[in-house]
Amino acid sequence: MIRVKMLVIGGIFSLATWGVLSSGDLAAYVQSLDSNPGTAYRHIEASEADSKTASIKPDEEQLHLAIQEEAAKRREAPIDAKIDRVWKAIPGYNGIEVNVEETMRLAMQRGTDTGIPFVYREVAPSVRLEDLGAEPIYKGNPHKPMAALMINVAWGNEFLPPMLSVLEKEGVRATFFFDGSWLSKNIDTAKMIQEKGHELSNHAYSHKNMSGLGREETIKEIERTQTLLKEKLGVDNTLFAPPSGDFSSLTVKVAHELKLKTILWTVDTVDWKKPAPEAIVRKIATRVEPGSMILMHPTESSSGALEDMIRVIKEKGLVLGTVSELISPNRVPKVETE
């Protein structure tokens, strides 16, 4: 299935030049579009297209040829989801290609005196994460320039307000995995987290080692928290993080049967050992990479490190999103540059 996103590339492409181009030097001229240092990307909606007709229209056949030639160069193939020997289930990543006909339509409508307004669409991979079956997920696709903060909550209420304050200040949405026994006593706190736009997910009910549980108890541990999320918070959750990262193949299979993806982590702050905040920041600066899921808890260590953690992640050119956003195949939009 193809999901369309619109992007416009501004460049210097004068109408006068169209009048003098020959078919022999057309491709070379179009190549000069990307050499313009002023080129920038910005998102638009199709309805934004300028309704005014340009006073001069380029030759349609020549324009269509130029767009087709550029489309071949600009296409990025989708990446299939796969099972890695070490990292288990790795999500896929959408490709991107020029929508030739939409680009042609918009170019004819707007004119090309400020460049060809290339229109792009995302192309879904052939193999999706859902096609891989019951497998744990430790990270997102390494080609996706995004990372996610996952905060497991079973205790540490006093550190939640300052952490939420930092996340709000930095414009970051995290994924909070709630222990059900904690959630049953802290619905108002969970609602506050939800109101700030964060993702709420399942961390079982009573923090047991899931690998030691049979099928019925595994179902009970997961379903009790799932019921709380739905009935008390209206959340249709799709993620499950086993307590302490302890699980068995049965755990993952049961979660899969309950339509939940089993989520682990790429980088662990190990904040329960009370490291200095600076040590956590150094670890993140060294280890975070595209696709990383970073585990923390509402502790004094992570609370003190959070602002600098976000800073070093952003300095690596990574966008921070929720776990669901990270493991989706959706592309990270290009950031507009001035």
Whole-model pTM: value is: 0.82
The pLDDT of residue 38 is above 60: no
Residue with tokens 């600098």: 308
Contact criterion met (CB below 8 Å) for 203 and 179: yes
Task: Tell which wins on pLDDT, 44 or 135.
Answer: 135
The pLDDT of residue 338 is above 60: no
Q: State whether residue 151 is helix, strand or coil.
A: strand
**Chain segment 80-130, per-residue pLDDT in tens:** 999 999 999 999 999 999 999 999 999 999 988 889 999 999 999 999 999
- The DSSP result for 44-83, as a single string, is --GGGS--SPPSS---HHHHHHHHHHHHHHH-B--B--EE
Angle of helix 249-257 relative to helix 215-233, nearest 10 degrees?
A: 40
Task: Tell which wins on pLDDT, 37 or 79.
Answer: 79
Q: How far apart are CA 236 and CA 189, in angstroms?
A: 18
The pLDDT of residue 139 is above 80: yes
Specify the pLDDT at position 143. 98
Task: Tell which wins on pLDDT, 44 or 225.
Answer: 225
The pLDDT of residue 5 is above 90: no
Domains for the chain: give ranges and CATH numbers: 2-130 (no CATH), 133-327 (3.20.20.370)
Specify the pLDDT at position 58. 53
Specify the pLDDT at position 188. 98
Confidence of residue 44 (pLDDT cuts 50, 70, 90): very low
Beta-strand pair 293-296/40-43:
unpaired
The pLDDT of residue 6 is above 70: no
